[in-house]
Every structure is written in structure tokens, then in C-alpha cells.
Amino acid sequence: MNYPWHLYAMAAMYCFAGIMHFIKPKAYLRIMPRYLPKHKQLVFWSGVAEVVLGIGLLFNATKNLAIYGISAMLVIFLLVHFYMLKGEKESAGVPKWILLLRIPLQFFLIWWALWYLKF
């Protein structure tokens, strides 16, 4: 299990992001698309997914599965990013230029995760 340092950084990033779902759930609830049901459960389970997938990156037996899971999760999270562009209320006060930058960032994060399949 001798991975590059940046894979460990990615694992820590997803674990931290997931833990934040439990520490600051209201921040995530504010940006949930209205058309999705059961917002509290979705915030909870997406936090669990981020933590589990972040930890999964650390083990040979689960690394590739975690990478595919992270990629799928990031594609699903695009729903939230596009929803937040819908209007002022949906943006939760985040400036539009930041919301627009998040979309290519999301694709970069997907590429970054998939890049580790070769290790």
C-alpha cells in the first residue's frame, strides 16, 4: 500500500467532506434540489458515502471500487451544482461565478479519481 501522497490527500478530502455532512448538515440541506425527496436522509447517506469511499481509497482491495464510487458520486452531485445555478434562492448566496467554476472543477475531480486506477 505505497500510494502517492496525493491519493492520501484525496482520501482525507473525501473523509473531511463527508464528516462535514454531520457537523453542518444545514449547509447541505440548503442546497438540496427541491425535486429530490428526503433531504435529511440524502445528506446523511451522502456523508456516509464520502467517508466510506475516502477510507476505501486507502486499501488495495477496495481502492478501485472506491474510485468508481467517487466518480459516480461526483456525477450525481452535478445535479446539485446545476440546481444551484437555477436562481438566487437555490444558489444559497454563493456568487454565480463560483457556482460556474464548480462545474469544471467537478469534472477535474472525476478525472483525478480515475487517474488512480493505474496505481
Q: What is the pTM of this model?
A: 0.92
Q: Which one-letter amino acid corresponds to residue 49?
A: A
Q: Do the beta carbons of residue 75 and residue 57 sit within 8 Å?
A: no
Residue 75 has what pLDDT?
A: 97
Residue 118 has what pLDDT?
A: 83
85: containing domain = 5-118
Say how many domains are in the chain: 1
Residue 111 has what pLDDT?
A: 97
Q: Given a cut of 80, is residue 1 above it in pLDDT? A: no
The grid coordinates of residue 27 equal 449547509
- How does pLDDT run across 100-112, given as a tens digit for each residue? 999 999 999 999 9
